[in-house]
Amino acid sequence: TEYITLLKSTKERIVRFGAERIVDGTTVMTHCHSSLASETIIAAYKMGKNIQAICTETRPRYQGRKTAMELVNAGIPTTMVVDSAMRWAVRRMRIDMIFTGCDAITSEGTIINKIGTRLFALAADELDVPFYVATDTFKFDPATSLGFLEEIEMRDPKEIWADAPPELNIENPAFETVPRRYIHGLITEEGVFPPSSILHILKEKHPWMFAFEE
């Protein structure tokens, strides 16, 4: 019960910090499905801010449809594009900021998230659009501070093509890395800060994460 209460309060702080970053008149874009990213956008809308949302469908499992449903049900004007149109959308639809979640954070401030996120980050960098990652600090992998690398999960090729020709090789990476140089800020329960600060902040706020170093 105590842990669930902690997670809830953590999410509430992240959403609040993120929603405060979204100003009136903003068009926000997001990728895949992150409850933190969706709830941040919805919270900003409930504050009375006139905003629009763009989301991707997120192949091959279409997690972006869940994001779209949540945003539409909240009353937010929402547009969906296919994954391969994300750069086109950032450029043509005049995106003001991008919010994603993440599955892990490394000691270098690199994040790991759904495949396609790096394309988002590259488009954001090219077009000078702020790229934010909403995440709790518990996503940090302390083993990476010792040189261990996060493994990228490869999923079943049948997710892409169930009855593909048997001679065809299909690769289905689920995640990819986004280097810290492309990330405008990590939005966490400890506030908003550059990813390069992750080790310093966690060693100050959560020293128990590094007990294995002793």
Q: Where in the sequence numbering do the catalytic residues fall?
A: 32, 103
Return the residue matching tokens 């302390």: 142
Quickly count: other Cβ atoms within 10 Å of residue 188's Cβ.
27
Q: What is the DSSP string of 139-203?
A: GB-GGGGGTPPPPPPB--GGGT-TT--TT-----B-EEEE-GGG-SEEEETTEEE-GGGHHHHHH
Helical pair 35-46 and 2-21, crossing angle rounded to 10 deg? 60
